[in-house]
A and B are shown apart, each in its own frame.
Chain A
Amino acid sequence: MEWLQQLINGISLGSIYALIALGYTMVYGIIKLINFAHGEVFMIGAFIGYISITGWGLSFFPALLLSMAICAVIGVIIERVAYKRLRNATRIAALITAIGVSLLIQNGVIYIRGAQPAAYPEVFANKTFNLFGAQISTQAILILSVSVVLMIILQFVVHKTKIGKAMRAVSYDAEAAKLMGINVDNTISATFAIGSALAGAAGVIFGIYYTKIDPLMGVIPGLKAFVAAVLGGIGIIPGAVAGGLVLGVVETVVSALGFSLWRDAAAFIILILILIFKPSGIFGKHTREKV
């Protein structure tokens, strides 16, 4: 039952990627910006979880909620300060600003607390269950259930609430949405808030799963989550989840086959293959470029 074990590991990892990828895909869908700072929001989320568990003695769920709330605020601040002025700027200018914000947060955190890693506290007694010969830890179940619940909430928000409707309208056509009386600025801020909250949650469960966090931890998972978003079709919410899961499983399989040093390369090879053969992603529709 080796494959089942790997599948479970892969899905646990993949659901973390999926949570981060949701933020990427929502932001890209609405303002066509690759928010490089998203990986840094994920890192901050992990640190807030760490501080609130070890420093303030909170238990897991309050820490998770606190981390999500603070990350949402940070996401909105980033958008208001750095990206709002660039709505009508060139794509390259926006992308460079996003890289700048990402570097600023990383090095700001290093400046404040140093680059040394921190060990995450154990919040749950780690038991393992036996399922058809594969070992499932409580942590894996926890990660999965938190991710699934958050994704269901997100799906509900996007499809059943007013703000979700506004988000869909703005991503379809911002100009027309504005004419129909939608407050585009607030909608974009809400998108950043939701996406960043999900990244914060991903940060906390990443910390619990890997037990070690550091200020540069956001870079690689951030890039991979972006790969996941592209894989599923950027701007498409179910696509981000599917992309994240696929990427997690592929990575685990590559590691299990004994190529663990090539694991990071696998993600980028997938990225390049998908960009070359189907740039719109698995779930994307082909759109023609307008002249």
Chain B
Amino acid sequence: MKKSKQFWVFAGLAIVFYAAVQFAISGGFLNNFYSNTLIFMGINIMLAVSLHLVIGITGQFSLGHAGFLAVGAYVAAIMTMKLDLPFVAAILIGGIAAALAGLVVGIPSLRLRGDYLAIATLGFAEIIRIVFLNIDYVGGAAGMQVTHLTTWTYTFICLFVTILVIVNFTNSRHGRACIAVRENEIAADAMGINTTYYKVLAFAIGSFFAGVAGALYAHNFYIIQPANFGFLKSIDILIYVVLGGLGSLSGAIVATILLTVVSTFLQDFPETRMILYSLVLIIVMLYRPKGLMGKLEFTDYLKMWMRPKGGRQHEQ
């Protein structure tokens, strides 16, 4: 009962935010630069939230998220540019293709743990990139022309659905099983949790939303190239999740907003931006390895603030 009240409050706030931005865009108060930054931010949040499910909730260290982004982007671009399907269908098919890729990658490599899994996912992402590089149908290294179709409305709806699904998944029985896998895989296995199933499930859901983000990403630019989806892109997404706090959804969102704003201002100085990023990574890992918000969510802070004497129930 309480939970659904919270949900409606958030949904209401989100819709008010959407309407305000949409009004500002159509009224001409927000110029192209700002609305593009907002769209880009939304796509980045989707990527961060989907990776959060894999790394933060299930504890599977994946370094290949850009690979799924690439699958979503290319498949969606093929759907709209070559097969003339509507954009909505392209988004869905992009997501499904990425989820299938997630299954293909997940089933063999999730037998591995920790470092090995990280390296295997990295390898898979590189293979995906090289495959796109070698297919002439999608333009090879030169890239593929894509029309600009992504609007604030599409971005908002996709983002809203992503967050909704991932929050609900996390709070469900399946999500708790995933958290058990994160905390101690062997113990979870011994308690009768089918660890492989949950790892693959989380991986596939994460890839699905990365693919949806990819579809939006592709149609937000005029051209997509395999070079956009390299190792560095995976690291970019990883930084959002790590900075916010491994295991905190709101942390990932806050970090993404922060870093997208910073990198938009540093667009003309790419190496300064990367130096800043890497310093942030190193310093956060050395002095606060659990990230800015740890495992706490934004609502936990609200609760603490409203009831200062109450116990901090959610802290581990």
Contact = CB atoms under 8 A, between A and B. Distances in A.
Contact of A103 (B108, B118, B277): B277
B297 interface: no
A65 interface: no
B282 A100 contact: yes
A111 B275 contact: yes
A282 interface: no
B130 interface: yes
A74 to B, nearest CB: 15
Given A93-B285, A230-B119, A272-B123, A110 B271 contact: yes
Interface string A254-291: 00000001101100110110011001000000000101
Nearest to B117: A275
Size band of the interface chain B makes with A: 35 or more
A118 interface: no
A289 B120 contact: no
Contacts of A82: 282, 286
Contacts, number: 111
A103 B235 contact: yes
Given A85-B286, A95-B118, A107-B271, A275 B278 contact: no
B279 A268 contact: no
A184 to B, nearest CB: 20
Majority DSSP secondary structure for residues of B touching A: helix
Majority DSSP secondary structure for residues of A touching B: helix
B112 A269 contact: no
B126 A100 contact: no
A89 B282 CA distance: 13
A99 interface: yes
Contacts of B277: 103
Given A95-B61, A103-B235, A276-B109, A261 B133 contact: yes
10 contacts: A85-B286, A96-B238, A96-B242, A99-B281, A100-B278, A226-B119, A265-B130, A272-B109, A272-B127, A276-B109
Given A97-B282, A111-B272, 6 more contacts: A93-B285, A107-B278, A219-B231, A227-B123, A264-B126, A291-B186
